[in-house]
């Protein structure tokens, strides 16, 4: 009998990690050998526990899951990564695959399908939620420049132009220009609407 596939779970919600671990440990060929609640703990834990597949949430403290996937791909290529997230946003999918993740599924994926996704990723295959793949192709990549994204991230807190200028080390006039460009590119009629559209499409993750 072959050794079970060694898994790491990275999610900042302990209840979610526990539920996923319980489900996956029911599979005879899978075993959860490490759990972390921060993205910046993924690499060390994966290396120490000799992990085969890391299941990563997107939004975590320390490092987001997509950045953690890129770090694994670069520094521990023997460990494949599968993004498992509530945030099924097309922009996240594209960024994750570009970062070297082997798969992207949402958390409400049935347990049997999730276990199968882990096995396929371990075999070197790519696994992507089909609905999200279609949506990602329709939405396309982010139209925002890096600076426009930075300004929208700062604007998400609801501060004034002066607040955003201080946070981004830009002049107020430059901030207004970037906000106008971002609103035009997202189709948002207001700053808040531009932020919402960009967030929904996964365009604001660093």
pLDDT of 137 above 80: no
Mean per-residue pLDDT for 121-142? 76
pLDDT of the residue at 3: 92
Residue 97: alpha-carbon gap to chain centroid: 10
Other CB atoms within 10 Å distance of the CB of residue 151: 29
pLDDT of the residue at 48: 97
Domain 146-200 matching CATH 3.30.450.40: the answer reads no
Q: Domain coordinates of the chain in residue numbers? A: 5-139, 146-200
CATH no., domain 5-139: 3.40.50.2300
Q: Do residues 83 and 101 touch, judged by C-beta distance below 8 A?
A: yes
β-pairing verdict for 30-36 and 53-56: unpaired
The model's pTM is: 0.70
| pLDDT range class, residue 140, cuts 50, 70, 90 | low
Indicate the range of 18-27, 47-56, 59-68, 89-98 predicted with least confidence: 89-98
pLDDT of 5 above 90: yes
Average pLDDT, the chain: 90
């Amino acid at each position: 009998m072959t050794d079970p596939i060694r898994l790491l779970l990275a999610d900042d919600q302990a209840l979610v990690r526990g539920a996923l671990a319980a489900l996956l440990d029911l599979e005879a060929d899978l075993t959860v050998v490490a759990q972390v609640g921060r993205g910046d703990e993924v690499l060390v834990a994966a290396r120490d526990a000799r992990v085969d597949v890391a299941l990563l949430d997107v939004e975590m403290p320390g490092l987001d899951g997509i950045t953690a996937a890129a770090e694994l791909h670069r520094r521990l290529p023997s460990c494949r990564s599968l993004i498992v997230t509530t945030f099924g946003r097309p922009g996240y999918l594209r960024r994750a695959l570009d970062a070297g993740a082997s798969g992207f599924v949402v958390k409400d994926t049935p347990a049997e399908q999730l276990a199968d996704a882990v096995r396929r990723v371990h075999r070197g295959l790519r696994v992507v939620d089909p609905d999200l793949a279609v949506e990602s192709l329709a939405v396309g990549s982010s139209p925002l420049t890096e600076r426009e994204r930075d300004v929208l991230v700062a604007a998400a807190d609801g501060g004034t132009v002066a607040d955003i200028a201080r946070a981004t080390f830009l002049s107020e006039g430059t901030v207004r220009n970037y906000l106008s460009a971002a609103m035009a590119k997202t189709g948002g009629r207001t700053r808040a609407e531009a932020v919402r559209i960009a967030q929904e499409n996964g365009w604001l993750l660093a």
